[in-house]
Amino acid sequence: MKFFNISVLILVFTISLSCQKNENIGETEGFIHAKGNRIADGSGSEILLKGVGLGGWMIQEGYMLGTHGPQHEIREFLTSLAGEQATEDFYEDWLTYFVNEADIKQIADWGYNSIRLPMHYNLYFDEGGQWLPDSKGLELTDKLLEWCEKEELYLILDLHAAPGGQGNNRDISDRREGESLWTSDKAWDMTIKMWYELAKKYKDEKWIGGYDLLNEPNYDFDNTGDPKGCSCTENKPLLDLFETLIDTVRAVDKNHLLVVEGNCYGGNYKGLETLANYDPQNNLAFSFHFYWGSNTPASIQSMLDIRDRYNVPLWRGEIGENSNSWFTNMAELMNQFQIGWANWPWKKINNLDGPVIIDPIPGWDKLMAYKSDSSNPKPSQTEAQETLSQLIENIKLENCRLMHDVAYAYLNAADGEGTRAYSSHKIPGTIFMTDYDLGKISEAWYDTDYQNTSGKSSNTAWNKGMHYRNDGVDIWSTSDAQSNGYYVGKIEKDEWLQFSMEEVRSGTYSVIIRAKSPNSDNGTIMLSIDGQPLFIEAVSIPKSNDWQDLKVENINIANGQTLRVGFPDGGFDLSSIRFVVE
């Protein structure tokens, strides 16, 4: 393995002369910075960075598009169908419209305070590897910083796709076969050059929250047989690179927080512990990424031990791809231990677990089906071009679906706000069961399966329907004309839903329950308002393959604020409940 060349050794020696260790440096006035083993804002007050990672913008990871593979392979595939110019236009438009000022305003309006920008090196260099002072990457970064400053959001720059690729996972770094950051002098030098130029350009920008120097290294430096690098105990090349990058940045920028990530996607810090005290400004944090595990103190104990032992702040730079309950539990745990986080990612195609959904289109599904298996129908060039144009329209925020429940789970529920009405409900009127309250499990709703702690990304058993909302409540789509397009299904015993009411008008009502039960006649339903049952006994749901209206007459209702729909016995599907004045 090649780790340094002569030019880099000279650079490091020169920089080291100007970067002498200062153990007594004070707070970095006006800038996000390390303060002992916590992160503080520009005034010195501790801050929890609660952010969003703009995944999918500067670098496309295949799974976000409903496929797999690195971006360059996806691009080559699209070129083969749509043609070179149409694909070139598509990628130019993608960069223009995927993130815009409206996106940043929405992030701020929801209550996030920071943004992590995953950068692709190829937007900052020409094809020969020369730095471009007027590059597309810098143009986009400048615009983003302007929007962040306007909305008072901290922007953390993240080298997500490093020259050559920082690990064996090709999708997250757009690595080409046969290339590697760890075996190429050119890739190594470009990485150093990139951070030198970025630090020099942004050194005085106080809304830059920090520099995340290298996303998720995953490389078997110690030849352990584990390609992810999780078994490495020395990680010497990674240590060398981080030391070089720290020296490089500090030669021109003594203001900004530096963030390093361990091997094994940020989880393996063996051999890297000395980085905690390497920065001459004492302004460095360790980042770890964590998906699909339990949100317990034990799950992060190894990182807490590192924080305490080496007096270094922690940042959970990526989390996500789970249920709302998991997000809330994660954020509560991070609040408990004063660790900031950034949820991943901002937008994905037809996936409920992010803040914003890009609606799928049939043409894109056809393209991806053909990419997956060439025996599927091949789209024509015209079809491919029309699909790319339509997808560009769909990625604009005004054409996306905002997942308010996801943002609520990360921010409001985790901070103890409690429940909030998802939509307006009135009696008399129709209440759609999918519009139950925003809030935590056992406060706004209860479902038997509600999160993924399996350790595997593919386990979505916590949501069997995967439509409309991202809680454990199982929701499917329906063409029933009397629905809102969705229904709650696979109802199990003792589950329940809560609805905060805008208005409950006292009177005598007929209650009409719209349900179906293809496989059972044992299901029952019970309603209560402010804890007072509306029925003398639970209403039985007869077996039926089709939607049916079950009418219960002569129900007296007084004023109230909260309707609860409970299921003493499950085995059926439920669309809505209507309250009609008799």
452-504, pLDDT tens digit by residue? 999 888 777 788 999 999 999 999 999 999 999 999 999 999 999 999 999 99
pTM of the model: 0.93
What confidence score (pLDDT) does residue 459 get?
75
Residue range 561-567: average pLDDT? 98
38 pLDDT above the threshold of 60: yes
362/77 Cα distance (integer angstroms): 18
Residue type, 206: K
Residue type, 355: P
23 pLDDT above the threshold of 80: no
What confidence score (pLDDT) does residue 50 get?
98
The band of 330, judged by pLDDT with boundaries at 50, 70 and 90, is: very high
98-140 pLDDT, tens digit per residue, is 999 999 999 999 999 999 999 999 999 999 999 999 999 999 9
Rounded to the nearest integer, the mean pLDDT of the chain is 94
What confidence score (pLDDT) does residue 21 get?
40
Query: DSSP for 451-496?
Result: ---SS-TT--TT-SS--S--SSS-EEE---TTSSSEEE-S--TT-E
Which residues contact residue 247 at a Cβ distance below 8 angstroms, ignoring those fewer than 6 apart? 12, 15, 16, 19
Q: Which of 34, 32, 56, 260 is nearest to 152 (CA)?
A: 32
479/362 Cα distance (integer angstroms): 18
What confidence score (pLDDT) does residue 508 get?
98
430 pLDDT above the threshold of 60: yes
482/294 Cα distance (integer angstroms): 40
Helix (H) or strand (E) segment spanning residue 149: helix 136-151
Q: Which of 190, 96, 195 is nearest to 139 (CA)?
A: 96
What confidence score (pLDDT) does residue 18 get?
42
354-411 pLDDT, tens digit per residue, is 999 999 899 999 999 999 999 999 999 999 999 999 999 999 999 999 999 999 999 9
What confidence score (pLDDT) does residue 475 get?
97
What confidence score (pLDDT) does residue 351 get?
86
Provide the token pair at 171.
């999708």
Q: 236-250 and 185-202 helices cross at what angle (nearest 10)?
A: 30
557 pLDDT above the threshold of 70: yes
The band of 5, judged by pLDDT with boundaries at 50, 70 and 90, is: very low
158 pLDDT above the threshold of 70: yes
Cβ(131)–Cβ(194) below 8 Å = yes
What confidence score (pLDDT) does residue 17 get?
39
Provide the token pair at 161.
């796709």
Percent of the chain with pLDDT over 70: 95
The band of 9, judged by pLDDT with boundaries at 50, 70 and 90, is: very low
The band of 15, judged by pLDDT with boundaries at 50, 70 and 90, is: very low
Spell out the domains of the chain, with CATH numbers in brackets. 6-57+98-359+400-406 (3.20.20.80), 418-581 (2.60.120.260)
What confidence score (pLDDT) does residue 553 get?
97
Distance of CA 168 to the CA centre of its chain: 22
247 pLDDT above the threshold of 70: yes
What confidence score (pLDDT) does residue 7 get?
43
Residue range 185-200: average pLDDT? 98
What confidence score (pLDDT) does residue 350 get?
85
